[in-house]
Structure 1
Amino acid sequence: MAPLWTAWIRIPCNTNTPPRNSLQALICIIVYGGVCVYLFDTMRTFQWLALGSVVGSAFALTPEKLITAPRRDNAVPNRSGKVALFSTAQYSFDTHSSSSAWWSLIDLKSGKVSQLTNDSNVSELTWLGPTDSSLLYINGTNADVPGGVELWIADSSDFTNSRYKAASLPASFSGLKTAVTKSGDINFLVYGQSYGNGTAYNEELAVTPLSSARIYDSIYVRHWDSWLSTNFNAVFSGTLKKKGSKSGSHYALDGSLKNLVAGTKNLESPYPPFGDSGDYDISPNGKWVAFKSKAPELPRANHTASYIYLVPHDGSKKAEAINGPDSPGTPKDVKGDSSAPAFSPDSKKLAYFQMTDISYEADRRTLYVYTLGSEKTIATLARDWDRSPDAVKWNAKGNSLILGTEDHGREKLFTLPADAGDDYKPKNFTDGGSVKGFYNLPGGEVLVTGSAIWTSWAVYTASPEKGVIDTLFSANEVDPGLKGLGPDDFDEFTYKGNWTDIHSWIIYPTGFDKSKTYPLLFYIHGGPQSAWTDSWSSRWNYKVWADQGYVVVAPNPTGSSGYGDKLTDAIQNNWGSYPYDDLVKGWEYVRDNFDFIDTDNGVAAGASYGGFMVNWIQGNPLGREFKALVSHDGTFVADSKVATEELWFIEHDFNGTFWANRDNYRRWDPSAPEHILQFDTPMLLVHSSKDYRLPVSDGLALFNILQERGVPSRLLNFPDENHWVLKQENSLVWHQQVLGWINRYSGVGKKNPDAVSLDDTTVPVVDFNP
């Protein structure tokens, strides 16, 4: 909708609160059907403060803006901490293609960004050190080996003219990590697929079998979105030898790559489907490699157990578990998943996390430190801390560690000394938003990359002593599609749940006016051991839903993580009790306490466990309080849970096996007749064919019953997506359908002419009804 009238007025700023680098500001008055007033800093033309607006304005976050917004990786500083390197990728609906990732440098003093290269073959650029400008990267093609890649070296001061090829690698490798040895050589790690004999698997050169048959003698035949084969992930090591004089020296591959994982049956690293270079590390002196692997002696489908293995970089010895069942220093009764190995700066110690429970994927992670050369020494740090950290780095001096930890709806950074006792409480030094990555800077500061509900990418500095120091970059200030977003877009509140206080987010539409009313959009998260956090999502983005014309309420009920073990663990064998009660009480609290939220025309949506809960709500009284429901990849028939791949998950959450504890599985069964007879609310089902965690048959079963019961319903299926919808064109259709569905039944579609409609999609609807 075009504005009817626009005016710009330049005024002096209040000298007590001047915009950064400016003594003046502009006011833009835009008239639509009412008046919208925006104030922004002339030096930061995309940092808008909405003083009054209407939903559907040009500044609303639409699905198209979300999907085409630049997606940036973590900012990684060089040795001196003067600049940092990051990559960006962006999708275009004009060309229906994604631009290759391009690489940029951000000046850590001024925040100025400059492009380093837009060569589509460049990936995984990394600083070499100890020099300040040397770079190593993976070239995505190989001139000599089809399906292979190359390693190139360049200098950031003259990237294009200085670069040269240092190695030809025989397969598609990624996950580059490096260490410069005492002699000046570069020891590196990459990972890729391996044949059973340890040689690298190259898909382009592989022989296509005459038969497509698969034969299995053990469970775990498929995982996430892939059927398992005899190939496996493996970490490979190599060395780039320094050759020539000091002034004209070049690096070249010395010998061949060594597979550090092969040699022990059933070892695999990184562990799929989400394993990456965070599953392994190289010591700063280049001598040692640590990697995570599932326990090779246990069935993968029934246990979460995994160990940290240590192996020389040169592969001269076989990898050995430092915390396996037969390892001398293994802490007593600690048998769960291990993760995130990280060497200390002096290469003498190795930090890692491990869970205690052997079959609980959401058990609390505890920090351990192993001393190399002393097999019996594994120290436990902050054992009593009631949080579950998921990222760890040593500080530059090696006398303390920094932990990335989910805490009360945010991903924060905490610090603790390297000799912390069991009762030590790590100290938090960041707060708002969620940390994605962090790196040490000279002088004890940390360079942090994060996001928030209102920005997809932010880079700032912080320290344990000073907290957050300076924000260098925020995407909402420079990306046209994100302008108008800001920290005033959301709030939070707490209410009394079934047995404890429950924390919830509340997200406002653009131009929110509390004197008006907006339909409720009730957001239910997956997991179930997960949480809604103050972070950006390119899939379930709060603001995209809100900007259709809703107030989004996103509670963290029983089962949510980041609020302590008790809340997380209490969902075990209680899928439809405590969490459902928490949601009912949350809905009642919203109805009774927020005059600007219209619960009479509210809608609810959820995915994964959230999809199960929407299915459960459909057959229970809360379902009658909503005008429409959206269920994405949710379980429906209780007995079908045994078709999943990670059996440890259901056997933990339902207190045993399907045959010995079937009543537990059926206690919270949305497909029970007494629930089906209550089905009445219009419902959109989304279920993709490559979702092997929650097979598509559950979505088909629920759709069949809704149709037979005469409940308005629609099925959206993606044959090429897994548990998530990741392809941009599919994501657009997903948004068009889910938003169009709720807009039709909530009334938003009639009130907001810019709201998404079911008719917006070009995908035909199959309808054989008479």
Structure 2
Amino acid sequence: MSPQKRLNTLGLFVNLVLSAFIFGSVCAYLFVNMRTFQLLAIGSVVLPAVALTPEQLITAPRRSDAVPNPSGEAALFSTGQYSFESHESSTVWDLIDLKSGKISQLTNDSNVAEIVWLGSSDSGLLYINSTNADIPGGVELWVSNTTDFEKSRYKAASLPASFSGLKTAITESGDINFLVYGQSYGNGTAYNKELAMKPFSTARIYDSIYVRHWDTWLTTTFNAVFSGTLEEKKSGQWATSRYISKGSLKNLVSSVKNLESPYPPYGDSSDYDISPDGKWVAFKSKAPELPRANNTASYIYLVPHDGSQNPGAINGPDSPGTPDGVKGDSSGPAFSPDSERLAYLQMTDVAYEADRRTLYVYTIGSKQTISVLAKDWDRSPSAAKWTADGKNLIINTEDRARNRLFILPADADDEFKPRNFTDGGSVASYYNLPNGEILVSGSAIWTSRTIYTATPEKGVTNVIFSANEVDPGLKGISPADVDEFYYEGNWTDIHSWIIYPANFDKSKTYPLLFYIHGGPQGSSADSWSTRWNYKVWADQGYVVVAPNPTGSTGFGDKLTDMITNNWGSYPYDDLVKGWEFVRDNFDFIDTDNGVAAGASYGGFMINWIQGNPLGRKFKALVSHDGTFVADAKISTEELWFIEHDFNGTFWANRDNYRRWDPSAPEHILQMDTPQLIIHSDLDFRLPISEGLSLFNVLQMRGVPSRLLNFPDENHWVTNQENSLVWHQQVLGWINKYSGIGASNPNAVSLDDTIVPVVDYNP
């Protein structure tokens, strides 16, 4: 069996079991203790799997990406874990041997926030210490090594505020040029929350649109990239250079008004890069000359690391090499190994957040047209990295409900079609190794973390680690729990995942859990989630079906784009046909007692289903942060989103907004299915009034309903204690109406609630 297939069948059993004697019956099992576990079944005997509970999901270790050292012999990653006993999180840093897979702890110091390898050394480390002995609210840079982390470490720099996103490069002189990012005042000074003067008034005053974003009201501070240098002293230790000794790092963003990088809410260190020679910095920023609420336009800026020049956009409207008509969001700047070229991704449309990304390459100092690679390829890369020889780029791309790696020559023409060399699961990060292999960190529906190597020629070459082999709470999960199928949708074939419960028996029947993804331009992907985890739902006793209807990404532009101004037509029809296909083709799925759930656009679709015939096919519904009143969409912050998806402005195209209105009287009069509504106060994209409006309607109509609200959460529920309540309420709700609660004594129940229920009804 090839390593790629072994990756897809990874994670069944660990130990050698020779025999077991139970009441005189002998059952023999033989297992091979391999790195990619595979069951060698004897007859039809299968050991019982352990169901994944919400508590196990939330407290399971959460590992960062594995970052290799320069020789490619070891990699570094962090592991965070939450405890419901102490109600606290802990983090350790580990080293993994990339040949043996052996893991050893580097440090459990909770102050170590980030670590990077120091130059070409296989043992040298540079890390951010999250506290500062001299400056409240500041952080420090420390140097250490892997051979004796605790004893060898020393402080190299004191930074005046809370910084993160550490990146480094070794200069020709041997200095270490580094980048971090943090909040900035307009004058370029770093913002330190602990030292900031608290105003006497809480008033906010705005003279322009975009007053809040995601979960934050905008203020006069903004994100900025800062540069600094560590010099090697005669003592052999590294210490701060002239930039920091003057009193602050060099702010590379603030010299041009309205620039911001990384760009919130998703922005991180992937929004900027430092050239391998340490001379240049590239970063992404929204277009400073355009209103941020009405467009997605952003550019890639280039600036010397020492800040000796102001940053300039390489693909702005006045840049000489900007491709004609390409005006959308830019992302993922990546310097070539020789520091002479810069790859980046950009969308064409200026007001479409889900437009296809295309890969471009800019030659530093050139005034020629920027070159475009594989322009006609019908996929949208999310990241690009150069190979060590600079001849190719490795790109991470969503493709058929997975995130796969593809190889793309740096001189590819418009018609070139890249080929993938990873298959199952979803790639989270990847790094070049000296031997030509790629070190990949990823996940899948059945495991929270995989670490493996791959090459464009051979595909996956070695599976080094998978979380479901070592984490006790995940050991009952395997690739056998997951399958997929296609069915005929409204206008094309539609893909769907199917996830089985623990100890699945095809001869039995299980209620359907129909899951609808968000977006609307999004997908149900082969990846792990700590929020909407398919296996947690399935292991309550359901078969989960997760379709990718019209609007889904990773299946080509047409499927994605056809949802525009069609929120309640093609996607709804696809879901109806998907439900019918399941009813007619899977005898082990009980659609009569099925339930449905969705978040964001999936929440809208649940609300739409509630007021349409498909809603009568389910015993219960769950909508998380979904829109309800069509006219309320104008209260969102990213106005480009609604103007694109409904083909115009709120005043000129009102009929488009109201065409798919779940709150229309004809839909309200059909509502009859018990529904749980979840909506949080800090969701500024879909304000809390949407959830309250739906709850009011259902209550007044006499439909069994419950509102779950979190005042401190945004579009997602991320706090572990809140997440536990979320799972208890969601699973308890569907279990009550599907019959699972009566048939499965281990299922979550609404009686398990750990917070009081408010009920003022007489």
Matching residue within 419, 429, 432 for 2:421: 429
- The residue matched to 1:25 in structure 2 has which SS? coil
Question: What is residue 135 of structure 2 aligned with on the other side?
Answer: 145
Name the CA distance, whole Å, in 2 between partners of 1:36 and 1:597.
30
Partner deviation per Cα, 1:639-678 (whole Å, 9 max, x = no partner): 0000000000000000000000000000000000000000
Question: What is residue 603 of structure 1 aligned with on the other side?
Answer: 595
Does residue 69 of structure 2 align to residue 81 of structure 1? no
Name the CA distance, whole Å, in 1 between partners of 2:33 and 2:239.
48
Question: What is residue 6 of structure 1 aligned with on the other side?
Answer: none
- The residue matched to 1:285 in structure 2 has which SS? coil
- Indicate conservation of the 8 Å contact 1:179/1:284, yes or no: yes
Name the CA distance, whole Å, in 1 between partners of 2:471 and 2:314.
47
Give the partner amino acid of 2:94: S
What residue ranges of structure 1 are gaps of 5+ in the alignment?
Answer: 1-16
Question: What is residue 59 of structure 1 aligned with on the other side?
Answer: 50
- The residue matched to 1:656 in structure 2 has which SS? coil
- Indicate conservation of the 8 Å contact 1:73/1:86, yes or no: yes
Question: What is residue 363 of structure 1 aligned with on the other side?
Answer: 355
Question: What is residue 3 of structure 2 aligned with on the other side?
Answer: none
Does residue 149 of structure 2 align to residue 176 of structure 1? no
Give the partner amino acid of 2:305: H
Give the partner amino acid of 1:318: N
Residues 339/18 of structure 1: CA separation in 2 closer, same or farther (3 Å cut): closer
Name the CA distance, whole Å, in 1 between partners of 2:722 and 2:544.
23
- Indicate conservation of the 8 Å contact 2:599/2:623, yes or no: yes
Question: What is residue 134 of structure 1 aligned with on the other side?
Answer: 124
Give the partner amino acid of 2:673: T
Does residue 466 of structure 2 align to residue 474 of structure 1? yes
Does residue 148 of structure 2 align to residue 167 of structure 1? no
Partner deviation per Cα, 1:350-397 (whole Å, 9 max, x = no partner): 000000000000000000000001032410000000000001100011
Does residue 175 of structure 2 align to residue 185 of structure 1? yes
- The residue matched to 2:162 in structure 1 has which SS? coil
- Indicate conservation of the 8 Å contact 1:401/1:417, yes or no: yes
Residues 484/168 of structure 1: CA separation in 2 closer, same or farther (3 Å cut): same
Question: What is residue 102 of structure 1 aligned with on the other side?
Answer: 92
Instruction: For residue 39 of structure 1, report the CA deviation from its aligned partner.
Output: 6.9
Name the CA distance, whole Å, in 2 between partners of 1:47 and 1:111.
18
Residues 470/58 of structure 1: CA separation in 2 closer, same or farther (3 Å cut): closer
Instruction: For residue 182 of structure 1, report the CA deviation from its aligned partner.
Output: 1.1
- The residue matched to 1:530 in structure 2 has which SS? coil
Name the CA distance, whole Å, in 2 between partners of 1:167 and 1:23.
48
Report 1:226-265 matches (<5 A). Answer: 226-244=216-234, 248-256=236-244, 257-265=249-257
Give the partner amino acid of 2:760: F
Residues 588/47 of structure 1: CA separation in 2 closer, same or farther (3 Å cut): same
Name the CA distance, whole Å, in 2 between partners of 1:654 and 1:703.
25
Question: 40-49 or 287-296, which moves further after superposition?
Answer: 40-49
Does residue 259 of structure 2 align to residue 267 of structure 1? yes
What residue ranges of structure 2 are gaps of 5+ in the alignment?
Answer: 1-8
Instruction: For residue 128 of structure 1, report the CA deviation from its aligned partner.
Output: 1.5
Question: What is residue 10 of structure 1 aligned with on the other side?
Answer: none
Name the CA distance, whole Å, in 2 between partners of 1:506 and 1:30.
34
Residues 620/179 of structure 1: CA separation in 2 closer, same or farther (3 Å cut): same
Question: What is residue 642 of structure 2 aligned with on the other side?
Answer: 650
Question: What is residue 699 of structure 1 aligned with on the other side?
Answer: 691
Give the partner amino acid of 1:485: I
Name the CA distance, whole Å, in 1 between partners of 2:550 and 2:354.
13
- The residue matched to 1:443 in structure 2 has which SS? coil
Matching residue within 543, 566, 587 for 2:558: 566
TM-score (norm 1): 0.94
Name the CA distance, whole Å, in 2 between partners of 1:661 and 1:21.
58
- The residue matched to 1:212 in structure 2 has which SS? coil
Question: What is residue 576 of structure 1 aligned with on the other side?
Answer: 568
Give the partner amino acid of 1:434: S
Question: What is residue 4 of structure 1 aligned with on the other side?
Answer: none
- Indicate conservation of the 8 Å contact 1:617/1:623, yes or no: yes
Instruction: For residue 264 of structure 1, report the CA deviation from its aligned partner.
Output: 1.1
Matching residue within 111, 114, 119 for 2:104: 114
Residues 255/768 of structure 1: CA separation in 2 closer, same or farther (3 Å cut): same
Matching residue within 459, 469, 481 for 1:489: 481
Question: What is residue 6 of structure 2 aligned with on the other side?
Answer: none
Question: What is residue 403 of structure 1 aligned with on the other side?
Answer: 395
Residues 703/172 of structure 1: CA separation in 2 closer, same or farther (3 Å cut): same
Name the CA distance, whole Å, in 1 between partners of 2:741 and 2:59.
24
- Indicate conservation of the 8 Å contact 2:16/2:31, yes or no: no
Question: What is residue 544 of structure 2 aligned with on the other side?
Answer: 552
- Indicate conservation of the 8 Å contact 1:78/1:129, yes or no: no
- The residue matched to 2:724 in structure 1 has which SS? helix
Does residue 529 of structure 2 align to residue 537 of structure 1? yes
Question: What is residue 211 of structure 1 aligned with on the other side?
Answer: 201
Does residue 726 of structure 2 align to residue 740 of structure 1? no
- The residue matched to 1:509 in structure 2 has which SS? coil
- The residue matched to 2:734 in structure 1 has which SS? helix
- The residue matched to 2:435 in structure 1 has which SS? helix
Residues 679/638 of structure 1: CA separation in 2 closer, same or farther (3 Å cut): same
Give the partner amino acid of 1:330: T
Name the CA distance, whole Å, in 2 between partners of 1:22 and 1:728.
30
Question: 250-259 or 299-308, which moves further after superposition?
Answer: 250-259
Question: What is residue 71 of structure 1 aligned with on the other side?
Answer: 62
Instruction: For residue 30 of structure 1, report the CA deviation from its aligned partner.
Output: 8.7
Instruction: For residue 495 of structure 1, report the CA deviation from its aligned partner.
Output: 0.2
Residues 673/104 of structure 1: CA separation in 2 closer, same or farther (3 Å cut): same
Name the CA distance, whole Å, in 1 between partners of 2:366 and 2:571.
46
Instruction: For residue 255 of structure 1, report the CA deviation from its aligned partner.
Output: 2.8
Residues 552/243 of structure 1: CA separation in 2 closer, same or farther (3 Å cut): same
Question: What is residue 513 of structure 1 aligned with on the other side?
Answer: 505
Does residue 648 of structure 2 align to residue 660 of structure 1? no
Give the partner amino acid of 1:499: W
Question: What is residue 5 of structure 2 aligned with on the other side?
Answer: none
Give the partner amino acid of 1:196: G
Does residue 309 of structure 2 align to residue 317 of structure 1? yes
Residues 591/20 of structure 1: CA separation in 2 closer, same or farther (3 Å cut): closer
- Indicate conservation of the 8 Å contact 1:35/1:53, yes or no: no
- Indicate conservation of the 8 Å contact 2:620/2:675, yes or no: yes
Question: What is residue 325 of structure 2 aligned with on the other side?
Answer: 333
Residues 106/678 of structure 1: CA separation in 2 closer, same or farther (3 Å cut): same
Instruction: For residue 761 of structure 1, report the CA deviation from its aligned partner.
Output: 1.5
Question: What is residue 13 of structure 1 aligned with on the other side?
Answer: none
Instruction: For residue 161 of structure 1, report the CA deviation from its aligned partner.
Output: 1.0
- The residue matched to 1:717 in structure 2 has which SS? strand
Question: What is residue 673 of structure 1 aligned with on the other side?
Answer: 665
Name the CA distance, whole Å, in 1 between partners of 2:240 and 2:115.
17
Name the CA distance, whole Å, in 2 between partners of 1:19 and 1:417.
35
Give the partner amino acid of 1:109: K
- The residue matched to 1:616 in structure 2 has which SS? helix
Cα RMSD, aligned residues only: 2.1
Give the partner amino acid of 1:590: V
Partner deviation per Cα, 1:339-360 (whole Å, 9 max, x = no partner): 0000000000000000000000
Instruction: For residue 252 of structure 1, report the CA deviation from its aligned partner.
Output: 3.1
Give the partner amino acid of 2:701: R
Name the CA distance, whole Å, in 2 between partners of 1:604 and 1:235.
44
Name the CA distance, whole Å, in 2 between partners of 1:668 and 1:42.
55
Instruction: For residue 251 of structure 1, report the CA deviation from its aligned partner.
Output: 3.3
Identity of aligned residues (%): 77
Name the CA distance, whole Å, in 2 between partners of 1:562 and 1:22.
35
Residues 457/38 of structure 1: CA separation in 2 closer, same or farther (3 Å cut): farther
Give the partner amino acid of 1:613: M
Question: What is residue 385 of structure 1 aligned with on the other side?
Answer: 377
- Indicate conservation of the 8 Å contact 2:115/2:128, yes or no: yes
- Indicate conservation of the 8 Å contact 2:393/2:407, yes or no: yes
Instruction: For residue 254 of structure 1, report the CA deviation from its aligned partner.
Output: 3.2
Matching residue within 206, 214, 217 for 1:224: 214
- The residue matched to 1:442 in structure 2 has which SS? coil
Name the CA distance, whole Å, in 2 between partners of 1:553 and 1:402.
32
Residues 38/663 of structure 1: CA separation in 2 closer, same or farther (3 Å cut): farther
- The residue matched to 1:157 in structure 2 has which SS? coil
Name the CA distance, whole Å, in 2 between partners of 1:317 and 1:18.
52
Residues 19/377 of structure 1: CA separation in 2 closer, same or farther (3 Å cut): closer
Residues 646/49 of structure 1: CA separation in 2 closer, same or farther (3 Å cut): farther
Instruction: For residue 423 of structure 1, report the CA deviation from its aligned partner.
Output: 0.5
TM-score (norm 2): 0.95
- Indicate conservation of the 8 Å contact 1:46/1:478, yes or no: no
Instruction: For residue 129 of structure 1, report the CA deviation from its aligned partner.
Output: 1.9
